[in-house]
Structure 1
Amino acid sequence: MLAITGLLAVLTLFILILTKRMSPLAALITVPIAAALLSGFGLRTATFVVKGIESVSSVVGMFIFAIVFFGIVTDAGMLDPIITRILLVMRGRPTRILMGTALLALLIHLDGSGAVCFLITIPAMLPVFERMKMDKRLLTCVAAMAAGVNFLPWTGVMIRASVALHIPATTIFRPILAVQGIGLIFVFTTAYLLGKKEERRLGLVFDGTGFEMPRRELSEQERRLRRPALFWPNLLLTVSLMAVMISGKVEPVVMFMIGTVIALFLNYPDAEEQRRRIDAHARAALMMASVLLAAGAFTGIITGTGMLKAMANAAVHFIPAGHAGHIPFAVGLISMPLSLIFDPDSFYFGILPVIAGAAQQLSVPPIQVAQAALLGQMTTGFPVSPLTPATFLLVGLAGIELSEHQKFAIPFLFAATVVMTVACVLLGIFPI
């Protein structure tokens, strides 16, 4: 019964968000609470909500101060010369801008943190997209693809798969290194093709060297806030903050809190101006912080009530016993959509061991099941899953609706998983 209730809750959530019948904030709060109450958990539902909120509290804090920090340095004009330089190098061509976005996201996501990747990539590239009047869904889609095709040995999902099946991470990774390369070729090819399509949509005319560069006229308010003399101090502050954060030596929320204070005193030492700068960015920070807290409540309820575990156990029974050899291929194909239903812990520690155990009994090596799962489950799937705070971070930073991002990006992310799964078959990693 819990499995059915959990599945209905997840499906209802997606339908309400995708059809825009309810805002993500309202749906993330209403649906799981209703499901828990209908399942008879009563006042214990409040405990699940609190635990879920506690689990995302550091991400919420990081997001709030990240929005304020990047807002301050952007007001001060730090990104102006960087954007101009990027446009010069890319010659204002959407194809190069999208491929550059993919490369930036890929390099930053080498540490395996989706939140850090989006916190750096989106604020850096968003002004370029806005100045070029490019579709911001392209920004979130390409960044999601580049971050998603990443299952290096030190990433969270790889570590979970390794621990769950007691197989060294490098042993799982080495055979699929070439597959990841094929996935990245797909990402950059897709970015190029999307760029060509965007060039046609914008009606840009190529003059042999590049497209005419868009010029941005600053308003009187923007000119008053600019601090061109402080470009290098602001850049040094930002790079230092990113470096320490990526190193993992200090929690991101702490670094952004410190960085925000330094940025305020560096650029706007007057207390009244500091208040105005905080007020200017508080609305965006508060809106997305509330959605992140609601997402924490959702995951807290479906985990605490046991709905996730029940769905995991029920899903295993749908594997046809007579088609064991096809298990890795089948798991690979559905691994990305499974990210929309299961969080990484419930899948890798709940479902994966059961599937791998059943496969092993039917003479299918467990390592193949692990590799299949890694092709999409919370890799290409995490940037569109409502179960990961990074998804809300991505759309919040870009300023687009979650439903718009999901409808646009899911086909490309799923295609990346399919390409890599087929590559595993062609390379002899999976039987068929």
Structure 2
Amino acid sequence: MLTLLAYSMIIVFMALIMSGRATALIALIVVPLVFAVIGGFGADIGPMVLSGLRAIAPTGVLLLFAILYFGLMIDVGLFDPLIRLIVRMSKGDPVRIVVGSALLAMIVSLDGDGSTTYLLCVTAMLPLHRRLGINPLILPCVTMMSNSIMNIAPWGGPTARVMSALHLEASQVFTPLIPPMAMACVATVAVSWFLGVRERNRLKKIDVSALHMEASPIGGDIDLDASDAPRASRAMMAFNLLLTIGLMVCLVLAVLPLPLLFMGAFAIAISVNFPSIKDQKERIAEHSASALSVVAVIFAAGVFTGILSGTKMTDAIAQSVVQSIPTSAGHFLPLITALLSAPMTFFLSNDAFYFGVVPILAEAAKGYGIAPEIIARASLLGQPIHQLSPLVAANYVLMGVAGVEFGAHQRFTLKWAFLLVVVMILAAGLFGIVPLF
């Protein structure tokens, strides 16, 4: 009964999102509450929701101050030189711009944090995409594809979880996956090139000289020559650049918790760039609407995950999947794990899959002489699909800064994410990293 309730809730939720009948904010709140009541958990809804909110609170704080920080950096013109450089290099060609967006996201994604990647890459590239009239769904698509590959790094979420769950080292799990990741990167560039060529053919002729007014993804407009906020002096620009680089280094090294890093960086940046309290209030107010829309969805996701975990629906889904694998298919467990990793991490959180499902699969695989590290590698191959999940908090940052609907993004990107999963599985089999047969 609980398993049926869990699958029904997920199906209804996805149907509402994908069809555009409800926004992610509303669906994340209403759907789990309704199904919790139907399942007879009405009396326990409060504690379950509060538990989910407590778990998601650090992410909400992180995104709030990250949006404020990068919004402030846009105001003072930190990214203007980068945009000018990209304009000169792209020469108004959609192919170069789309491929460049994908490559930039691959580099930035090395920090292992999807939210930071989306904020930086979309902030830098969206003005060009908008000014040239490129399909607004392309930038979030190629950015997400790049991030989904690089997120497999040991300091990223999924790999760290599976290594912890199965007590493995990075050399056993991540290092062998480098060739499939490289193949997926090539596939991402190829898809970006294809999308860029398609946009070039659609747009035909582009006036490069018109590239001066750029729409900002985080409130207001970016004009490369002027702005509502005063542009920083060279000395202040150097300070802002060093502060941002220092912030990124601290993020990678995990010097302090991520929310605290962004809170501190924002406090320093706004105090130095805008000493006047009046100016500080204006800057915060300028970006409050964008920040609120993203953070509201993050806390709504806490309702969904809190009820999903509190009602044990997550455990029911995990058990139903494992029990459905016939004994005769034991020798195919690496392939089965690779195939399951896409839908399972889409409908469940990374924690639920890597701490709940993967250990069970690894234990079953031992009986067939299959090492745990093989199951661990296979479980990471579905990450491109996972990145489209409504349970991934960074997605709401991407939607907020890119200004597109989540359902539209999923419909546009799903086929390309599926292609990446196929490429990674085939490459893993080809290189003998995950034996498929």
The verdict on a shared fold, with TM-score over 0.5 as the criterion, is: yes
Amino acid corresponding to residue 180 of structure 2 in structure 1: V
Change (3 A) 1:118 1:375: same
- CA gap 1:68/1:177 in 2 versus in 1, 3 angstroms: closer
> Equivalent residue of 2:321, what SS?
helix
In structure 1, the residue matched to 2:240 is 234
Corresponding residue to 1:396 among 394, 400, 406: 400
Structure 1 range deviating more: 145-154 or 11-20:
145-154
Deviates more, 1:411-420 or 1:240-249: 240-249
Deviation at 1:222, TM superposition (A): 5.3
Measure, in 1, the Cα distance between the counterparts of 2:426 and 2:131. Answer: 39
Other-structure match for 1:214: 210
Name 2:345's counterpart in structure 1: 339
Deviation at 1:60, TM superposition (A): 1.0
Distance 2:23 2:53 in 1: 19
The AA in structure 2 aligned to 1:431 is L
Q: Post-superposition shift, 1:332?
A: 1.8
User: In 2 relative to 1, CA 127–405 (structure 1 residues): closer, same or farther, beyond 3 Å?
Assistant: same
Given residue 163 of structure 1, which amino acid in structure 2 is its aligned partner?
A: S
**How many Å separate the matches in 1 of 2:282 and 2:156?**
40
Given that 2:32 and 2:304 are in contact with CA atoms closer than 8 Å, whether structure 1 keeps it comes out as yes
Q: Distance in 2 between matches of 1:214 and 1:382?
A: 39
Change (3 A) 1:372 1:79: same
> Where in structure 1 are there 5+ consecutive unaligned residues?
206-210
Change (3 A) 1:153 1:240: closer
Aligned 8 A contact 1:132 1:214 in 2: no
Where does the alignment leave 5 or more consecutive residues of structure 2 unmatched? 214-221
Question: Partners in 1 of 2:243 and 2:430 — Cα distance?
Answer: 48
| 1:10 maps to amino acid | I
Deviates more, 1:290-299 or 1:56-65: 56-65
Structure 1 length normalisation: TM-score? Answer: 0.91
Alignment match, 2:216: none
Deviations 1:234-269 (A, max 9, x none): 333322332323321122322322333333333333
Q: Distance in 1 between matches of 2:155 and 2:240?
A: 31
Question: How many angstroms does 1:21 deviate by?
Answer: 1.2
Q: Which residue of 2 aligns with 1:179?
A: 180
* Cα deviation digits, residues 322-342 of structure 1 (max 9, x gap): 222333223323422222211
After TM superposition, the structure 1 stretch with the greater mean CA deviation from structure 2, 139-148 or 331-340, is 331-340
Give the whole-Å Cα distance in 2 for the aligned partners of 1:56 and 1:140: 23
Instruction: Give the TM-score normalised by the residue count of structure 2.
Output: 0.90
Q: Please name the residue that 2:82 is paired with.
A: 82
Cα offsets for 1:95-142 (capped at 9, x unmatched): 222222222222222232222222322222222322333223211111
Shift in Å, 1:91: 2.5
Match for residue 196 of structure 1?
197
Deviation, structure 1 residue 9: 0.8
Which residue number corresponds to residue 425 of structure 2? Answer: 421
Counterpart residue type for residue 48 of structure 2: F
Q: Which residue of 1 aligns with 2:301?
A: 295
Does structure 1 conserve the Cα–Cα contact (< 8 Å) formed by 2:314 and 2:348?
yes
Give the letter aligned to residue 435 of structure 2: F
- The CA deviation at 1:153 is 3.2
Find the residue that maps to 1:245 and give its secondary structure. Answer: helix
Counterpart for residue 363 of structure 2: 357
Paired amino acid for 2:403: G
Partner of 1:243 in structure 2? 249
| Identity rate, percent | 33
Give the direction of change, closer, same or farther, for the CA distance of 1:221–1:426 in structure 2 (3 Å limit). closer
2:360 counterpart SS class:
helix
1:116, 1:246 within 8 Å by CA — same for their partners in 2? no
Note the C-alpha offset of 1:73: 2.3
In the TM superposition, what is the alpha-carbon distance from 1:351 to its structure 2 partner?
0.9
Q: CA deviation at 1:290?
A: 0.7
- Structure 1 stretches of at least 4 aligned residues deviating more than 4 Å after TM superposition: 217-222
Could you say which residue in structure 2 is the equivalent of 1:16?
16
1:386-406 CA-partner distances (Å, limit 9, x unpaired): 112111122122121111111
Distance 1:69 1:155, change over 3 A: closer
Contact 1:91 1:213 in 2 (8 A): no
Q: Tell me whether 1:44 sits opposite 2:44 in the alignment.
A: yes
Q: Name the amino acid aligned to 2:241.
A: L
Q: Alpha-carbon deviations, 1:63-118, whole Å to 9, x = none?
A: 11222222222122222222011211233322222222222222222232222222
